[in-house]
Chains A and B, each alone.
Chain A
């Protein structure tokens, strides 16, 4: 497999994983929590590496899940015990944890091979070189396998839990009234987001994970008629962004991950302006504001 194909595969898998959980985060109005998690997961990675000295996939996953849960827990703690409003709680927890991670990295630059800037936007072009071995054979890039695992996990999670996720996203009080354990499902979703973030992280860095979580899903949100179609469309838009973004970056000789995010944004604006029910074009056609029949 050529390097270009590996990169495209990794980029698409990342888009798929992010779009799957991203759709749910958008429906639950938790986009900024997704932003928070994508930052704090860095600390999990750094600590996991510092403590175990290993960069194995399992170690990183565990570090990510742990810190993800701690983030959610601390945010809740500040909100409940510190009597601090919700938006401030999120902001304080994630900037603090991220700052600590960055300091640890700067201070121990020799020992951790994560470059300060690259942790923000990754360097997917190098991913194909970072391969793993199994039974003595080189089976391909780490990033590919991590993302494949996570994509499958997300798919299974959404398929099995579809009803619960839909009920909780639509009307949490109904879900609770029907006896669904809202907290359990909530934490499970947070865990999947943490896993998705950490595996995307190596390839595309923190901020761009947020773009892939949020932008394709919102593009789909504009035009979907069911949660099912929204998820499918999110994935399609993400794949489109990944592929077009890659070629854009090659042409401009710039960061691949940034290009992917830009294309996601471009597709979003396209749909917003031309295809969504309350788009400018539609409104001009109707020449009156949208009303319910």
Chain B
């Protein structure tokens, strides 16, 4: 097995090179075109279109009795378009809903295709074997002439995307706006549909009818986790599609009797799973880390503020406090308290005094800042948002952790640089020499 693997990647066998390039091109084009379906929330139509291509392939074979790729491709494209227009008709002109329209075309066209396939298998025609490979795909069955045609078709659909990128993007994101600008929306939609149908149809030989939808869907679903910018996502789609194409070609080489389609899906699933978990910002792992970091920040800042509040009552900021005193004012788990104290010590916000703790200069500044945020927000809510004074504390408890100096300035300006909060307490000023407990 390992030998075969290495042999494959030496790329000495010309057939390998052809199949590999074909698969890569196919993978990228379907990945890119699939994203346009994704952003219009119509990912499942890819599935319906893939199944709709089957009767075209079979009919072409029955009519022309040849496996010539042009003929097969042509048949597939025709039946795919018929399927597309049938869906469109049902949705626009009958009470049939979109999900049903998709399922009807998917299953009906597929049934017609299967009917023809089983009929063909009983006939005595040369060349009929291997037609069923189109159900699950078989990269290994590709020959050079196939690949050339597929490659050209793939390049064609990619070219359409590149040439008309701006229009297509606008139509995908805001169709009505595009229309209002006088853009010929139906024309571009038809063009896009043509490119999608083309990608679907050429992908069939490698990915198979049944699982083709995945080649359209997974790359963009994965790419979405990495970026917000459309060009970036499209490149990722091409990349992920190419990887899955290469992997499929590889696996088909290692085990020619195995269908390629399922392995394409497994490869893409892996990519998707990794993206979902580990992508920066959107990935699950990053979100988890961020949540933990924020929770710790909340605990630490709460602790600092509690120190400040107790000190304020005692009119002296150098008071050393025991953990029990803190707990009497703020409800905190003892475990959380312990961890918070450790973190604050580490950052030099508090210092030890035998068994007690007190604020450092740095800690005092920070505590004052948080308290300022808290009380400013309370004032904002009562003055501007008409919320009664007894209700503002809870909100401020949350908001104090998310304000920034810039936001603080805006709030302060809007309130006219106030001095007192709704409960009559002093709002520590940002200038350490005015107000507060140090004057």
A and B touch in the complex (CB under 8 A): yes
- Interface contact A91-B47, CB-CB below 8 Å: yes
Q: Fill in one digit per residue for A258-292: 1 if any B CB lies within 8 Å of its CB, else 0.
A: 11011011001000100010100000000000000
Among A8-16, A179-187, A249-257, the stretch that binds chain B is A249-257
What are the residues of chain A within 8 A of B262 when measuring CB–CB?
Answer: 98-100, 102-103, 106
Does A117 sit within 8 A of B, measured CB to CB? yes
Answer whether residue B70 sits at the interface, using C-beta atoms and an 8 A cutoff. no
Contacts of B95 in A (CB 8 A): 221-222, 276, 278
Closest Cβ of chain B: how far from A103's Cβ, in Å?
Answer: 5
Contacts of A214 in B (CB 8 A): 100, 103-104, 107
Q: Does B175 contact A (CB under 8 A)?
A: no
B253 interfacial contact with A, CB 8 Å: no
A280 to chain B, nearest CB (A): 9
Report how many residues on chain B are interfacial, defined by Cβ distance under 8 Å: 57
Chain A interface SS verdict (over half): helix
Q: Which residues of B contact A264 (CB under 8 A)?
A: 108
Residues 28-68 of B contacting A (Cβ, < 8 Å) = 38, 41-44, 46-47, 51
A26 to B210, CA, bound (A): 22
The one of A86, A90, A95, A106 in contact with B259, judged by C-beta atoms closer than 8 angstroms, is A106
| Known pairs A29-B100, A218-B104, A268-B104; A258 contacts B211 (CB<8 A) | no
B110 located at the interface, meaning its Cβ lies under 8 Å from any Cβ of chain A in the complex: yes
Min CB gap B199→A, angstroms: 16
A-B contacts counted at CB < 8 A amount to 178
Q: A83-B282, A87-B43 are in contact. Are A265 and B103 (CB under 8 A)?
A: no
Cα–Cα distance between A261 and B117 once the two chains are bound (Å): 14
Looking at the complex, which of B147-155, B184-192, B212-220, B396-404 is the stretch in contact with chain A?
B212-220
**In which size bucket is the chain A interface?**
35 or more
Q: Do A254 and B119 have beta carbons less than 8 Å apart?
A: yes
Known A-B contacts A92-B217, A95-B265; A35 and B103 likewise in contact (beta carbons under 8 Å): yes
Bound together, the chains give a CA A157 to CA B274 distance in angstroms of 41
Q: Is B170 an interface residue (CB 8 A)?
A: no
A224 to chain B, nearest CB (A): 11
B96, A30: Cβ atoms closer than 8 Å: no
Measured between C-beta atoms, what is the minimum distance from A272 to chain B in Å? 7
- Counting chain A CB atoms within 10 Å of each CB, which of B98, B107, B135 scores highest? B107
Q: Chain A residues with Cβ under 8 A from B214's Cβ?
A: 91-92, 95-96, 99
Contact flag A253-B107 (CB < 8 Å), given A99-B262, A120-B135: no
A50 at the interface (CB under 8 A from B): no
Residues of B within 8 A of A155 (CB): none
Q: Encode contact with B along A93-122: 1 for CB under 8 Å, 0 otherwise.
A: 001101110110011000000001100110
B233 CB-CB contact with A under 8 Å: no
Asked if B115 contacts A92 (CB within 8 A), the reply is no
Q: Specify which chain B residues have a CB less than 8 angstroms from the CB of A210 in the assembled complex.
A: 103, 106-107
Closest 5 CB pairs of A and B: A261-B111, A211-B107, A99-B265, A31-B103, A258-B115
